[in-house]
Amino acid sequence: MLRRSLLAAGAAAALTRPARANEPVDVLLVLAVDVSRSIDEDEARLQREGYRHAVSDQVVVRAIQGGMIGAVGLCYIEWAGIEYQRTVIPWTRIASQRDADQWAATLAEAPRASLSWTSISGGLRASRAALAEAPFEGTRKVIDVSGDGVNNSGPPAEVERDRLVAEGVTINGLPIINDRPTFGRQPPIPLDTYYQEAVVGGVGAFMVVAEDFESFGIAVKRKLIREIAGLDGPMRG
């Protein structure tokens, strides 16, 4: 336990070193993650583990290193209702397996909140602010939105989506098709259809569907590789 705590502390210290302004990266990627009340503790654990294992996966790291610059900038944001968005891990430059492992260790130790309602528009708004403050110079700007429900708090998701797309940002989606209705109610339309119509947008945008939380990690890995490589393709991956 002590060794794990020391490892996490060291990883956090490494990630909080000041970034050099305008360091180049192949892509600025915001991971915008739903932590609304519809996601219980087991699902939250699977979600976090999915991101941790995907970012530190050797295949993903090789994809990062295979870019023209060989590095990406990552910012990890959690969101719930319109009143709650939190940057869990600020902008971090990932260019090596060590960088990726440190990032994953930091996420493992970060506290998590669970709040009511689902504001995809709030998550997109926070992601837009993060991109504006990024310390790196990215050739592309991408927001990766994952969640298990439709927008039910704040402005419609389309409002923020359209504003970001007009600014040249690509928004990709990772809807989690949970078999449990949100707050006891079925969504008005299938979640993957909703994401395709209201969330995803921009040049080369696509969506990868996680059929449940158990398959989330595989979906995240597939999605990260496509985002890092800048691969266009069908809207639904």
**pLDDT for 114 beyond 80:** no
Residue 6 lies in a domain: no
Counting the structural domains of the chain, the total is 1
CATH number assigned to the domain comprising residue 73: 3.40.50.410
Confidence band of 134 (pLDDT split at 50, 70, 90): very high
Residue 128 in any domain: the answer is yes
Q: Is residue 7 part of a domain?
A: no
- The yes-or-no verdict on residue 130 having pLDDT over 70 is yes
Average pLDDT value for the chain: 87
In a domain, 211, yes or no: yes
pTM, rounded to two decimals:
0.87
Which residues are within 8 A (CB) of 5 and not within 5 positions of it... i.e. 6 or more apart?
none
Q: How far apart are CA 76 and CA 152, in angstroms?
A: 22
Give me the domain span that covers residue 54: 33-229
- Does any domain span residue 89? yes
User: Is 47 domain-assigned?
Assistant: yes
- Whether residue 200 lies inside any domain: the answer is yes
pLDDT (mean) for 37-43: 84
pLDDT for residue 230:
75
- Average pLDDT rounded to a whole number, residues 138-145: 96
Alpha-carbon span 78 to 170, nearest angstrom: 19
Q: Is 23 among the domain residues?
A: no
Cα–Cα dist 100/57, whole Å? 8
* Alpha helices (H) in the chain, listed in sequence order: 2-15, 41-56, 58-65, 97-109, 120-132, 157-166, 191-198, 216-229
Residue 18 has pLDDT above 70, yes or no: no
Point out the least confidently predicted range of 50-59, 67-76, 172-181, 202-211. 172-181
Q: How far apart are CA 101 and CA 97, in angstroms?
A: 6
The pLDDT tens digits of the residues spanning 197-234 come to 999 999 999 999 998 888 899 999 999 999 988 765 55
| Whole-number percent of the chain with pLDDT over 70 | 84
d(C-alpha 19, C-alpha 99), whole Å: 13
